[in-house]
Structure 1
Amino acid sequence: MHMKTLLITFFSFFLLFFSSPKSLQEQDGLGYSNNDSTLISIPFPIKFNKVSDEYLLEKKVKTDSFYDKFIGTYGFSGSFIVTKNGKIISEKYQGYANQRTKELITVNTPLHLASVSKVLTATAILKLVDNDNIMLDQKVTDWLPSFPYKNTTIRTLLNHRSGLQHYSRFPELLKKGWNRKKIVSNQDILDLIVKHKFKLLTPHDTRFDYCNTNYIILALIIEKATGLKYEKAMKELIFRPLGMKNTFVFDYFRDKDTVSLSYRKGGLNPWDQFDNLNGDKNIYSTARDLVKFDLATYSPDFIKPETLKEVYTSYSPYMLKYKKDYGLGMRMKQLPNGENLWFHNGWWHGNTSSFIPMKKDTVTIICLSNVYTTKTYETLKLAETHYSLTR
C-alpha cells in the first residue's frame, strides 16, 4: 500500500512538472527561469536571445546613474523602467498617487498615459487592419457617413495629415455658442464637426499637424468597426490578450475619485470639460504593462510584421530637416548619425509620459509622472547615449 501511494505521488508530480506552462520567452530560447521576477513575459511567442549578465550589469549601473541625475531628483513622482528582451535592467517608483492620503506609487499603480495613449489607439486600428475589418486608406465617411471631410482617410488621421481643427480650439471658434460647463464626449466632438464644418487648417494630406481630434475620430471608428465601446474594444483587442491587468480606459464619471491624481506646482490639477475624451489620451497603465505591450509587437502572432512596418514609416519627410517626423501613432527623432529614434511623449494636465520602443536594440524605455515635469522626457537622452546600437 505504501509503495502504491509513492508511485501515485511520483506519477502526479511527473505530470504536473511536464504539463506546467512555461513563459513563452523561455520556450523560444530566452533561457531564464520561469520564476524570474525580473523577466516580463506575455502569452505570445517571441524569439529573443538571452541577455548576458555582463550587459545587464553594465547597463544597470549607467541607467541608475542617469536616473538619479536627470529624472529621479527631488519632486519627481512616477514610474520608470528599462528592459531588454523583457528582462528588467532598471525599475524605479517614487512619489504619491494621492498626496493627501499618502498612497504611494508602486509597480501596480496605473498612471495617466496622456498622449502615449495614441500609441495604443493606433495599435487597435492596426489590429483591425490585420483582421480585415478596416483598411488604412479607407475613407472616414465609410464608417462615419456624416463626417464632412470626404477625402480624410484612416491613415491621415493616424499620421496627423488630416488638417482637422483642434478640439481645444472649439471654444474659441464657437465663442458664445460653446457650453463651457458641459463634460464633452467623443460623439459631441463629432457632432460639432458635422454641424459647423470647421475649415481645415491645411488641405488633406499636404502637411503634418499634430492634432488630438484625429484620435477622437479614430476611437469612434474603433467603436463602429467592433460594435463595442472604445473602452471594451481596447480591453478585448489589447489589454486582456497581453495580460495588461493594470491598464484601463478612464471614465470621468466613474473613475475621477479613485484614480491616481494629477498635480502641478502648488497643488492638485483641476478636472476640465475635455477629461472624458478618449483615443488621444485617458488610458491609465503601468510601466510593466507597457513593456508587455511593446514585447507583443515583436510577435507576428499579435501583429503582422508588414502592418508594423507601416507604423515606422516617414510620412512627412519635409520634417526631417527639423530632425523629427511622425509615423502611424509614433513620433520620430533623427539622431546626429542619421539613425531614427521612434518614440511617443505625452502631456495632459500634470501627467507626462515617455514611451521608447527601440526596435533595433530590443530595448524598451518608459517613464510616467503624475506631477508635471519635463524630466520624463530625459528618456530620449538616455536612449541616445546609453542604448542605441550605433553607439
Structure 2
Amino acid sequence: MDRKRLKESVGRIAAGAVSGQTPGFALMMAKDGEVLLSEGYGMADLEHGIPIRPDDNFIIASNTKQFTCVAILMLMSRGLLELDEPIERFFPDFPDYRKYVTIRQMMCHTTGIREYFEEGFRENEEALRTADTAALLDIVRGFGPLEFEPDTKFSYCNSAYVMLGDIVRQLTGKPFGRFLEEEIFAPLGMERTFAPDYMDVRDPYQVQGYEKQADGTFRRMPYDMLMVGYADGNISSNTADLLKWHHYLYESDSDLLLPRAVLNTAFEPHRLKDGSLSPYGFGFFLGECAGTHSKTYPGHREIWHTGGTMGFISRCSRFVDERVSVTMLTNYEGIQRDELFFPMLDVLFEELDRP
C-alpha cells in the first residue's frame, strides 16, 4: 500500500472541511495494529494559533460507553452482579420500574428510561452544567414512568449509562472514572487517557472544544458537566491510546481484564421481545452484523460507535474482516463528521484493495 498517496488523498478531503482558521480533528488508520496514517488537521486552539497534533486528547463522549460496559462485565466476572438482575438493589428509591428493568437492558438501550438530554432539558439545563452524578440521578429519578415496555424497542439512553456508572461506584467503592483509570487504562498502558468524575479535574492534554455558530464564527465551549459527562461520556483520550484499546478488544487473546468469552458477548446483538435483533451489543453498534443503522459504513462488517458533546465529536470503527481500525476525534461541534469520515474510508479501502 502507498502510504504517501493515502496521506495526500486524505489530506485533500480534510482540507475541504478544516483549515488553519477552524477547529479540526485527529485521525488514525491502522491495520493489524500497524499504523497506516496518523495526522492532525485544523486547530487545537484558535485563539493561540496552536494546530492539532496526532497525539492531542479529545473528549470521546459516547465512545465511553464501551468502557462502561467492559467495567460492568468485569464486575459480573467477579461475581458482584448479574446482567439480568433488576436494578432495585442499586436504586431502591427509583420508580417501580426498578423492580424489573435489568442491567443488561441498560447496557443495550432497551429500558424505556427517559433521556436526560431530552426530558425537561431546558428546565434542567443550568443545573446540569454543575450536577455531579448524585444530582443527575436525582433528576433522572424524577422523570417518572418508562416511555415504553423494556425490550420492546431500541432507544438510545444516556440516563441508563449514568446509572451503570453509579453501579460501578457502589460495588467497588471507587468513583467511576477512577475505576476506569486504575483497572482498565493503567493495565492496558493507556497512559494519556483520563476519565474525570467532575469538572474540578481537567485532562492536561485536552484541546479546546468549539461550536460553529450561525454566522460562521467559532465559540469556545465552557468546561462544565455538559461537556465532561458521566459514565455515558466522560473519557478524554487520543488516537494512539484508543488503538491500544482496539488491540486489546480485537487483536489480543489476553484475559487481562476479563475472560475473552465474556468480552466477546459485547459484540453480540441484543434480541428484543418480538424476536428481532437490535443494532447494538454492550456499548457497540454492530453494522452489517444485525439490523441496520443509517450511520453504518455499508458493505463491511463494522463494530463502531460515535460520540458527541459540547465542542467535541468522535467516531471509532473496527472493520472486522479487514482487521482495520479507524479513529476520528474532533474539537469541532458542527463538523460534518460522516461526510468526512466515509470518503476517507473510501480512500483507505481503495488503497488496501490495490494489487
Same fold (TM over 0.5): yes
1:111 to 42, 58, 72: 58
Deviation per CA, 1:153-205: give whole Å up to 9, x if none.
111111100111011234359x5xx47356112211222333x2522111112
Runs of 4+ aligned structure 1 residues displaced above 4 Å come to 316-321, 335-339, 380-388
Contact in 2 for aligned 1:159/1:328 (Cα 8 Å): yes
1:344 equivalenced with 2:290 (yes/no): no
SS for the counterpart of 1:209 is coil
1:221 counterpart = 2:167: yes
User: Structure 2 stretches of 5 or more lacking a match?
Assistant: 289-295
* Equivalent residue in structure 1 for 2:253, among 276, 296, 299: 299
1:152 aligns with 2:113: no
Superposed, 1:86-235 pairs within 5 Å as 86-148=33-95, 149=97, 150-171=99-120, 175=123, 178=124, 180-181=126-127, 183-194=130-141, 196-235=142-181
Q: Is the 8 A contact 2:65 2:283 kept in 1?
A: yes
Q: What SS class does the counterpart of residue 80 from structure 1 fall into?
A: strand
Instruction: Read off the aligned partner of 1:262 and give its amino acid letter.
Output: G
For residues 27-48 of structure 1, the C-alpha deviation after alignment (integer angstroms, 9 at most, x for no partner) is xxxxxxxxxxxxxxxxxxxxxx
Aligned with 2:329 (options 368, 376, 391): 368
1:260-317 CA-to-partner distances (Å, cap 9, x unmatched) read 2111222224335533531111211000000001111233323423223221112257
Amino acid at match of 1:171: G
Structure 1 match to 2:226: 274
The TM-score normalised by the length of structure 1 is 0.74
Cα pair distance change 1:179/1:324, threshold 3 Å:
closer
Distance 1:382 1:152, change over 3 A: farther
Counterpart check, 1:333 vs 2:287:
yes
How many residue pairs match? The answer is 328
| Unpaired segments ≥5 residues, structure 1 | 1-56
Moved more, 67-76 or 161-170: 67-76
- Aligned residue for 2:287, secondary structure, equals strand
Higher relative contact order (CA 8 A, sep 6+): 2
Q: Percent identity?
A: 22
In the alignment, the residues of structure 2 paired with residue 91 and residue 235 of structure 1 have an alpha-carbon distance, to the nearest angstrom, of: 25
Preserved CA contact (<8 Å) 2:30 2:37: yes
Secondary structure of the residue aligned to 2:201 is helix
Contact 1:79 1:94 in 2 (8 A): yes
Residues 269 and 152 (structure 1 numbering): CA distance in 2 closer, same or farther, change over 3 Å?
Answer: farther
How has the CA–CA distance of structure 1 residues 189 and 245 changed in structure 2, closer, same or farther, with 3 Å as cutoff? same
Q: Distance in 2 between the 1:133 and 1:381 partners?
A: 44
Root-mean-square deviation (CA, aligned residues, Å) is 3.2
Contact 1:71 / 1:375 at 8 angstroms: preserved in 2?
Answer: no
